[in-house]
Amino acid sequence: MAPPRSTPERRLLDAIYDDYDAAAPRLAWADWLTAQGNPWGEVVRLAVGLAAKGKPPSRALRAAERLHREAGLGPLAPLFHADNDLVFDRGTLAGGWLLPTAHLGAHLDDPRWRGVSWIHHNSFDEIVDLLRAGRLERLTSLHNFSLKALVAISSLPLAARLRALSPFVTGDQFSPLTPTLMDRFSSLDRFSLTSLGEGRDPPALYQWLPQSKVACSQLRMIGDLFPLMLPPVLRFLPRLTAWEAIHFGTMELLRAPKGLTLFLHFLSPTHAELFAQIPPGTISTLEIDARVADKRKQGRAELRALAAQLGARLVVQTKPVAKAIRERWKWYEV
């Protein structure tokens, strides 16, 4: 394959990615953009200036990024979803949601891929081709891709540096996950598998966990397990030494200083039957936001009964915490 044609902007962008933390190459690019009449030059200056002062992105910066996003993305603009998260790091693309219809072939050599740390995409051929092209040298997080793609990605060199993975499985695309397969992702600390459709045996999707070296020694966040998986997970939980949070659909199991906390996002009629399978005292604290508990007329009475069933302390939060818990599952914050 012939090397990509060198242009002034490509040389400036390559200089940025060759010395990613430095401000000078970014400011040189900003000067060039301004000289071309491109408004993204001012966006880059503002972003670099804030970072130099140790300040987070301001509202003014976020507004400018939204207004001039196409200028910031350059040739990649048609590939990304306009209404979902799009993140820049001091002016260069850091991550976003690729459109399902995005055709990446003509853009695989664009230097902007070099700064991307997370991608949300669900086209098998397109995402695997992009990863095989080797341009995503900073990629650490991959979200909403097929289990078929996960198997293909596991054989690529970048598998060893990916830290967060969130694939999905459908009824007609199922490959059993094995400890050998998952341990190829040797830097992994967040993993969530979404099952779409019927016909999947929930335990089969996660039976690799207690046998995986990666899962046992470094996996911090695990989801999106079926609620019925809570009792069996509790049985092998001592083998998972690094875990901090495990998501079970309507519930979140959290490691706490004084034992295990089970946070309920919703109250479900199935909770009593499920909790009957858990030995009393296994869960230390049952927690829920007050506004969720009070949506049901007998909500607090139901919660007291559930807490008694578990032998757990009941905590009803007057200040909502569910949003903060969900924020931790943003896959690009790794």
Highest mean pLDDT among 36-40, 98-102, 207-211: 36-40
Pair 210, 216: CB distance under 8 Å: yes
* Angle, CA 166 vertex, CA 171 and CA 111 arms, to 5°: 120
> What does DSSP say about strands 285-289 and 190-192: parallel, antiparallel, or unpaired?
unpaired
Q: Could you read off the pLDDT of 52-84 as tens digits, one per residue?
A: 999 999 999 999 999 999 999 999 999 998 777
Neighbours of 270 (CB within 10 A): 10
Do the Cβ atoms of 240 and 221 come closer than 8 Å? no
43 inside domain: no
Q: Which of 252, 246, 259, 256 is nearest to 288 (CA)?
A: 252
Is there a domain that residue 200 lies in? Answer: no
Q: Which CATH number covers residue 321?
A: 3.30.750
| Rounded distance between C-alpha atoms, residue 178 and residue 238, angstroms | 20
The Cα 216–Cα 236 span in angstroms is 10
pLDDT for res 145: 83
> What number of CA atoms fall less than 13 Å from residue 25's CA on the CB side?
16
Any domain includes 70: no
H-run or E-run covering 264: strand 259-264
Distances in whole angstroms, Cα of residue 105 to Cα of each of 127, 156, 319 = 10, 19, 49
Q: Please determine, for residue 105, whether its predicted confidence score (pLDDT) is greater than 90.
A: no
Does 320 reside within a domain?
Answer: yes
CA angle, 17 then 22 then 27, to 5°: 90
Q: Is 262 within a domain?
A: yes
Token pair for residue 12? Answer: 């400036």
Distance CA 137, CA 17 (A): 9
pLDDT of 180-217, one tens digit each? 999 999 999 999 987 765 545 556 678 889 999 999 99
230-266 pLDDT tens trace: 999 999 999 999 999 999 988 999 999 989 999 999 8
Residues 6+ apart with CB under 8 A from 276: 309
- One-letter amino acid for residue 265 of the chain: H
All residues at 6 or more sequence positions from 52 whose CB lies less than 8 Å from its CB, including other chains: 23
Per-residue pLDDT reduced to its tens digit, 271-321? 999 999 999 999 999 999 999 999 888 889 999 999 999 999 999 999 888
Q: Cα–Cα distances in Å, from 257 out to 40, 63, 229, 240, 261?
A: 47, 40, 23, 16, 10
- The 10s digit of each residue's pLDDT in 107-116 is 889 999 999 9
Query: Is there a domain that residue 299 lies in?
Result: yes
Residue 270 belongs to a domain: yes
Total structural domains in the chain?
Answer: 1
Domain interval for residue 296: 250-334
Q: Is residue 281 in a domain?
A: yes
pTM across the whole model = 0.86
